[in-house]
Structure 1
Amino acid sequence: MSREFLLPDLGEGLTEAEIVAWLVAPGDTIVIDQAVVEVESAKSIVELPSPYGGVVASLFGEPGQVIHAGQVLLTVADASIGAGDVVGVPAVAATGAPSEGSGAVLVGYGTTESTRPARPGAAGRFGSAGTPNVPSPGAADAPPSTEAPASASPVILDPARRSPVVSPIVRRLARDNGFDASMLAGSGDAGSGRTALVLRSDVEGYIRAQTASSAPASDVAMPLAHSAPTARNEVSADIRIPISGLRKAVSQRLSTSRREIPEATIWLDVDATALFAARDQLLHATGERFSVTTLIARFAVAGLRQFPVLNSSVDTASQEILQHGAVNLGIAAQTSRGLMVPVIHGAHAMSTRQLRDSLTELVAQSPDGTFAPSALTGGTFTLNNFGSLGVDGSAAIINHPEAAILGIGRMIERPWVVDHELAVRTVVELSMVFDHRVCDGGTAAGFLTFVARCIESPVSLLADL
């Protein structure tokens, strides 16, 4: 008897996902709630646990393939061996029968208490705790296993090998370079008795080894081909890049924003010298660091309480402006997966310290874009610090269905007039894009000048607290 594991409802109205990597292979024995496949939806990358235990009979789909809710992911057959012969697998799980207390992990399927085997902690996603996931000196020169023959590259692929690969970034790096990371011998600590994890350094070591092995041939060939065009003049082939996963969701949202919202943009240069002084005073008074972005986020939240209509969305069906009671502050973040806008929910009720801590958590997750789906929904206003990209300003696209977005440019020293005299000051350009259906320019300008006044004189915020 075999059972079909269908792609479940991923929540938030998501109906499709892209297969990133299989975590099992046909013939593997699995237990209930064991992670079997990693998929990327428009919201996040998640591992899907199987609701059945037994032997994997077949897999449906290849990495990179898009599948839809209700399609078969894999089939699981009853184990052909006794449950007592499967090391570490409870008898009831090995036969695939639901046991009491096994785990409801996604909408629409699963059990109640997880029997999923122990996996490395959160630190394992980026390397084991205390061991940064960075290449060590000479790591690429040392063979990862004794399987490599003396004449082969120091690092080899073994199609029969199934090394565990935890990080989606590692899998993607390998896939972009034409191989499966699980075929490498890992060097990461996966715990006692477990196969070593494949780390980013292992993948990069293999890529370096392949590059080095092909370099001598190209060095010999080039002098003989005097008439060949130089690398500078060569034209590479066209590449088609699928718009899928996160990129597809972002494209749809931005297109909807441009199509539906009659936006207008205003901007203002602001003297931020006093803001940096206030940051230093906070450090001296509390012993804690507060970033400039945190302080401007604090000002923006206060400004939305003064001009609440900007904390709105437009209900096109009922032709109403929905003014939100809570301020859920979105923070535009550039990640390895692309532009994402994680949300600080309930920012209006937070102290500056709480806002800083929430922002710090988002920043820690930004490099890999490993945000939970719930962290990417419900925003009511967005803050975009594109100054970190080295630009002064931008006419940003509003994060639909919100009504406005505040942009922060880079902060640099410029000549500035102070008390009728020329001085060198730290200046930042603020830009404000707003939905003209929600308000007129006077309201948007009032918000922008309020934030500017707080930046130029942070103590002035005290009058509004």
Structure 2
Amino acid sequence: MIEPRVFLLPDLGEGLTEAELVSWHVAVGDEIAVDQPIAEVETAKSAVEVPSPYAGIVAELHGRPGETIDVGKPLISVTPLGSASVAAADDAAPSPTQPEVEPAETELGGSVAEPAASHPEAEAYREEEKAGSGNVLIGYGTPGGHGQARRTRAPKTAVALAEPAEAKPAEDDPTLLRTRVPGKLGAVISPLVRRMAREHGVDLGDISGSGDSGLIMRRDVEAALRTAAPAAEPDEAEPEAKRVEAPERPAESREGRDARTGLAIAARTPVRGVRKTVATNMARSRSEIPEATVWVDVDATALVELRQALKANGGEVPGLLAFIARFVTAGLKKYPELNTRIETADDGSQEIVAFDGINLGFAAQTDRGLVVPSVRGAEKLTARELDAEIRRLTQVARDGKATPAELGGGTFTLNNYGVFGVDGSAAIINHPEVGILGVGRIIDKPWVVNGALAVRKVTELTLTFDHRVCDGGTAGGFLRFVADAIENPTSLLADI
């Protein structure tokens, strides 16, 4: 009997460890080809179609629309077609000089990678890459994909059973151990172990893994939970009658009313996808970054008149955001402290990391929530080139087709909240960046010009910055630089 091949949800990149299954493009019993889209998933970064690395008949769909699937968990099982399965069986057959040993099966239908000089989890990942098509996710492929027939079972392994016959937990399965924790951690761990640590508030950076090469296993997290400070025991000398148990407050009554307010609950919306990422990132920014805010009103009349004059001459004219982006990149060159990031080492020491280049992020509102695409190498672009890239990234973000690379990697963020009709906002820094510049709406206001009142086009600029990397002098200098460029745009726009 031909065993189905199990395709695990691949590594999505950018530290993403899970995805929501939006819809299936295939059904059980369908015949599919290599690289045929089988499902649409939504990550915290974007919505992407997942192509199949295998050809054959769909045997099982592991999940329903709306469910969240961890990286490394089964997505779909495919039974190879006749000719492909024969070729795969020949490929998987052991040599005459080597005895055939049945592989150690895992809960995911895979097998333990054969022993080698390298780590077993790395071998397992390489074996899956060899079986892939080279096009696992848009922008994230596996090497060696040429559409050829692949082996339908993992290589035979000779594994010495040194431990008692005990069910091996899925989270210790090497086929799952192939994603890295973003940031300071270098140990490879299972998404399930990572979730367990997150749910119990365990800092993985404080754990020494007991697995090969310091691999963090489920037992390590459980040990950390056992050694955590236990709940205070009641004083044995205290009379039993004096001990008062805190009443348990029901979260919700059976009638569907909120126990705290007494109001009927109209709806419950799971926090996931982009909203979940925004919530987590903003909470982390507020808790970790000692931020400060400075702001200034700016006379944007000259900039508005410049655009109108360019329009009158015909041709494509950059938007106001592109002009301001051009001023921001020039300002960051002069004040590079705001184009940095703070990294914390395992021993608690910190470093300010400076960059040779600017990836300018800009906030874009979409139907899926607020996202921050970034213009790579923004300091090299003219205002027209910035405008074209901002428009392109905004469109792919709103279509839900932006790649994780396009929605990450920013070094400074520009936020044009003036489009919502507001004047100012003390924005939250987009962690792990150290600064964000907000631009309010441009409106007519009375303004003193050469000692006389006049009606001018005025906007408010607001800079929120990480006080660990610079002081008010640097922040104020950068803000004043951008403000002066808006008031006298021709000084910086010779290249437009």
C-alpha displacement of 1:276: 0.7
In the TM superposition, 1:39-54 aligns within 5 A as: 39-54=41-56
Contact 1:30 / 1:94 at 8 angstroms: preserved in 2?
A: no
Q: Which amino acid aligns with 2:360?
A: L
Aligned to 1:399, what secondary structure does the other structure show?
coil
Runs of 4+ in 1 over 6 A off after TM superposition: 93-98, 462-465
Aligned to 2:307, what secondary structure does the other structure show?
helix
CA distance in 2 between partners of 1:306 and 1:291 (Å):
24
1:288 aligns with 2:290: no
- Match 2:301 to one of 251, 273, 283: 273
C-alpha displacement of 1:459: 2.2
C-alpha displacement of 1:463: 9.8
In the TM superposition, 1:376-415 aligns within 5 A as: 376-415=407-446
Aligned to 1:401, what secondary structure does the other structure show?
coil
Contact 1:340 / 1:369 at 8 angstroms: preserved in 2?
A: no
Residues 101 and 283 of structure 1: CA distance in aligned 2, closer, same or farther (over 3 Å): farther
- Counterpart of 2:37 in structure 1 is 35
- Counterpart of 1:432 in structure 2 is 463
- Match 1:335 to one of 346, 366, 388: 366
In the TM superposition, 1:1-400 aligns within 5 A as: 1=2, 2-79=4-81, 92=84, 103-106=133-136, 109=142, 112-113=145-146, 237-284=265-312, 287-317=315-345, 318-400=349-431
Residues 110 and 322 of structure 1: CA distance in aligned 2, closer, same or farther (over 3 Å): closer
Residue deviations 1:402-449, cap 9 Å, x none?
A: 110000001111111112211111110110100000111111111111
Q: Which amino acid aligns with 1:69?
A: V
- Counterpart of 2:231 in structure 1 is none
CA distance in 2 between partners of 1:23 and 1:309 (Å):
48
Contact 2:7 / 2:74 at 8 angstroms: preserved in 1?
A: yes
Residues 241 and 404 of structure 1: CA distance in aligned 2, closer, same or farther (over 3 Å): same
Aligned to 1:394, what secondary structure does the other structure show?
coil
C-alpha displacement of 1:285: 5.1
CA distance in 1 between partners of 2:141 and 2:311 (Å):
49
1:442 aligns with 2:470: no
Contact 1:453 / 1:460 at 8 angstroms: preserved in 2?
A: no
CA distance in 1 between partners of 2:54 and 2:316 (Å):
49
C-alpha displacement of 1:464: 12
Contact 1:403 / 1:435 at 8 angstroms: preserved in 2?
A: yes
Which structure has the greater CA radius of gyration? 2
CA distance in 2 between partners of 1:101 and 1:280 (Å):
58
CA distance in 1 between partners of 2:134 and 2:417 (Å):
40
Residues 61 and 428 of structure 1: CA distance in aligned 2, closer, same or farther (over 3 Å): same
CA distance in 1 between partners of 2:479 and 2:143 (Å):
49
C-alpha displacement of 1:47: 1.2
CA distance in 1 between partners of 2:38 and 2:493 (Å):
54
Segment of structure 1 superposing worse, 279-288 or 349-358:
279-288
Aligned to 1:369, what secondary structure does the other structure show?
coil
C-alpha displacement of 1:10: 1.5
Aligned to 1:393, what secondary structure does the other structure show?
coil
Contact 2:48 / 2:400 at 8 angstroms: preserved in 1?
A: no
Residue deviations 1:177-226, cap 9 Å, x none?
A: xxxxxxxxxxxxxxxxxxxxxxxxxxxxxxxxxxxxxxxxxxxxxxxxxx
Q: How many residues align?
A: 335
Residues 419 and 29 of structure 1: CA distance in aligned 2, closer, same or farther (over 3 Å): same
Contact 1:257 / 1:399 at 8 angstroms: preserved in 2?
A: yes
Contact 1:31 / 1:94 at 8 angstroms: preserved in 2?
A: no
Which runs of 5 or more structure 1 residues have no equivalent in the other structure?
83-90, 116-234
CA distance in 1 between partners of 2:443 and 2:463 (Å):
19
Contact 1:386 / 1:409 at 8 angstroms: preserved in 2?
A: yes
Contact 2:446 / 2:454 at 8 angstroms: preserved in 1?
A: yes
Q: Which amino acid aligns with 1:104?
A: G
C-alpha displacement of 1:377: 1.6
Q: Which amino acid aligns with 2:292?
A: A
TM-score with structure 2 setting the length = 0.63
Segment of structure 1 superposing worse, 409-418 or 355-364:
355-364
Aligned to 2:318, what secondary structure does the other structure show?
coil
Contact 1:8 / 1:108 at 8 angstroms: preserved in 2?
A: no
Q: Which amino acid aligns with 1:418?
A: V
Aligned to 1:57, what secondary structure does the other structure show?
strand
TM-score with structure 1 setting the length = 0.67
- Counterpart of 1:174 in structure 2 is none
Q: Which amino acid aligns with 1:40?
A: E
Aligned to 1:375, what secondary structure does the other structure show?
coil
- Counterpart of 1:187 in structure 2 is none
